[in-house]
Amino acid sequence: MSYVKEAFETVKRRNPGEPEFHQAVAEVLESLEPVIDKHPEYREARLLDRIVEPERQIIFRVPWEDDLGNIHVNRGFRVQFNSAIGPHKGGLRFHPSVNLGIIKFLGFEQIFKNSLTGLPIGGGKGGSDFDPKGKSDREVMRFCQSFMSELALHIGPDVDVPAGDIGVGGREIGFLYGHYKRLKNATEAGVLTGKGIPFGGSLARTEATGYGTVYFLSEMLADKGFELKGKSVAISGSGNVSLYACKKCQEYGAKVVAMSDSNGYIYDKNGIDLDLMIRLKEIERKRIKEYKNFHPEAEFGENCRDIWSLKCDVALPCATQNELNGKEAEALIENGVIAVAEGANMPSTAEAAKLFQERKVLFGPAKAVNAGGVATSALEMCQNSMRYSWTFEEVDQRLHKIMVNIYTMTKNAAKEFGMEGNLIAGANIAGFQKVAAAMMSQGIY
């Protein structure tokens, strides 16, 4: 048995009942066979055994009181996966689906995503099975304060720097940071990213993941002689990533024809009215079907996954993991899709990703495509360290350059190891090489 297969079998044995984590590890390790062959010292140092095992897994109780005086208990998680190149960095996800396996999958992906940015940040992830939907601001505040009471024991600007993710936006980050300050009696702005602008946040952070997705997409298309202008685009989701991917697509001259939420999708042949979508989803927090009240000519479908049955040139899955399966990939291919770029974390199943590659659809993998968010979080950390703020344009220029560099590194790594055009392998290899070199230099720990 090869060392790569041996390492994966160990992961499955030691982490039962965690399919998302298994899926993420399998995708990465499969790409690393030629790297291990070229570097037998990695096998001797049991590097893969170490990189698939988190440095630390923290699980804790989060009790909180609702507005009626009822006591609830949720479970909190923080997985500090790898700090070889810098402090742990990764978001917090508040969603009923959160469990240890999902946090580990996200934290493992974060190692390589963060490495690709070229910035000194390691991998981590956290969250809770708490659902902020339908909760009052006071209820969310009480939960966040209880959550931070434990999390504060394990984080710091040079230790572990959380950010937002699904269910954790500016409101939640504000409550978390406020309670951290109270507990520490110190203003450590660099301990959390995604903060509000008045207290250490970075301009362009809100837009960063969506913008970065489109910057990567544009590079991927241009490298093959295409341009985004004039292309029809379907974007799953209607949260932060989706909305700002839509905005940047429109700025590049593309027509975004569809978006979705967990209750369905909207198809507007005239192009999505972005201002309306932002008002419905970010301000009024309504369901996407309300779009039809303002644009009756648009079509609403009750199954959000049917968005992939629509005809489009470009597909941007930006909602959640495994939202696009093999059958849906076939539908996109039959309808003429030329490019898919993953704005969410691991939104395509392994079967779907394989189909896109086999059928010569340009495919940008999540850890490369959506790295713009964490890259700009690292830029926020940099500004916090300097006690200084850059303009929106300065941050956006840095983000654009980082995404172009990520595409170039990913493409070149795939070519170097005989897998030209395979950006999944390229991203995994390029991300791994930097972390591996750091781990080898730092001894066995």
Asked whether residue 410 is marked as a ligand-binding residue, the answer is no
The long-range contacts involving 396-399, CB below 8 angstroms and separated by at least 24 positions, are 396/204, 396/207, 396/211, 399/204, 399/208, 399/211, 399/212, 399/215, 399/372, 399/375
218 and 285: one domain? yes
Asked whether residue 442 is marked as a ligand-binding residue, the answer is no
- Residue 425 counted as domain residue: no
| pLDDT for the residue 1 | 80
178 and 234: one domain? no
164 and 43: one domain? yes
Q: How far apart are CA 87 and CA 382, in angstroms?
A: 13
| pLDDT for the residue 296 | 97
Asked whether residue 354 is marked as a ligand-binding residue, the answer is no
Tens of pLDDT, residue by residue, the chain (445 residues)? 899 999 999 999 999 999 999 999 999 999 999 999 999 999 999 999 999 999 999 999 999 999 999 999 999 999 999 999 999 999 999 999 999 999 999 999 999 999 999 999 999 999 999 999 999 999 999 999 999 999 999 999 999 999 999 999 999 999 999 999 999 999 999 999 999 999 999 999 999 999 999 999 999 999 999 999 999 999 999 999 999 999 999 999 999 999 999 999 999 999 999 999 999 998 998 999 999 999 999 999 999 999 999 999 999 999 989 999 999 999 999 999 999 999 999 999 999 999 999 999 999 999 999 999 999 999 999 999 999 999 999 999 999 999 999 999 999 999 999 999 999 999 999 999 999 999 999 999 8
Asked whether residue 113 is marked as a ligand-binding residue, the answer is yes
- Residue 83 counted as domain residue: yes
Residue 64 phi/psi, 5-degree rounding, is -155, 160
76 and 178: one domain? yes
CATH number at residue 84: 3.40.50.10860
- Taking Cα atoms as reference points, which of 322, 415, 272, 233 lies closest to residue 23? 322
Instruction: Note whether 342 and 348 are within 8 A (CB).
Output: yes
Which of 364, 399, 427 is the C-terminal boundary of a domain? 364
Per-position DSSP letters for 187-223, written without gaps between them: --GGG-SS--GGGT--TTHHHHHHHHHHHHHHHHHHH
158 and 299: one domain? no
| pLDDT for the residue 274 | 98
Cβ–Cβ contacts within 10 Å for residue 53, how many? Answer: 15
Domain membership of residue 162 as a residue range: 3-188
115 and 243: one domain? no
193 vs 216, 361, 425, CA distance in Å?
23, 35, 29
85 and 114: one domain? yes
175 and 238: one domain? no
410 secondary structure, DSSP code: H
Residue position matching structure tokens 């390029």: 430
Asked whether residue 209 is marked as a ligand-binding residue, the answer is yes
- Taking Cα atoms as reference points, which of 281, 278, 254 lies closest to residue 341? 254
Instruction: Find the Cα–Cα–Cα–Cα dihedral 354, 359, 361, 367, rounded to 10°.
Output: 10
| pLDDT for the residue 403 | 98
| pLDDT for the residue 285 | 87
Catalytic residue set: 125
| pLDDT for the residue 149 | 98
Query: Residue 354 belongs to what H/E stretch?
Result: helix 350-358
Q: How far apart are CA 275 and CA 373, in angstroms?
A: 22
65 and 173: one domain? yes
162 and 260: one domain? no
- Residue 397 counted as domain residue: no
Q: pTM for the whole thing?
A: 0.93
Which of 364, 390, 425 is the C-terminal boundary of a domain? 364
Domain count, the chain: 2
CATH number at residue 251: 3.40.50.720
Asked whether residue 136 is marked as a ligand-binding residue, the answer is no
Q: Distance between terminal CA atoms of the chain?
A: 26
- Residue 87 counted as domain residue: yes
Instruction: Note whether 441 and 377 are within 8 A (CB).
Output: no
| pLDDT for the residue 445 | 84
* CA angle, 166 then 169 then 174, to 5°: 140
Per-position DSSP letters for 98-145, written without gaps between them: --HHHHHHHHHHHHHHHHHTTSS-EEEEEEES---TT--HHHHHHHHH
166 secondary structure, DSSP code: T
C-alpha dihedral sign at 417, 418, 424, 425: negative
355 and 275: one domain? yes
Asked whether residue 441 is marked as a ligand-binding residue, the answer is no
Q: How far apart are CA 403 and CA 390, in angstroms?
A: 18
| pLDDT for the residue 8 | 97
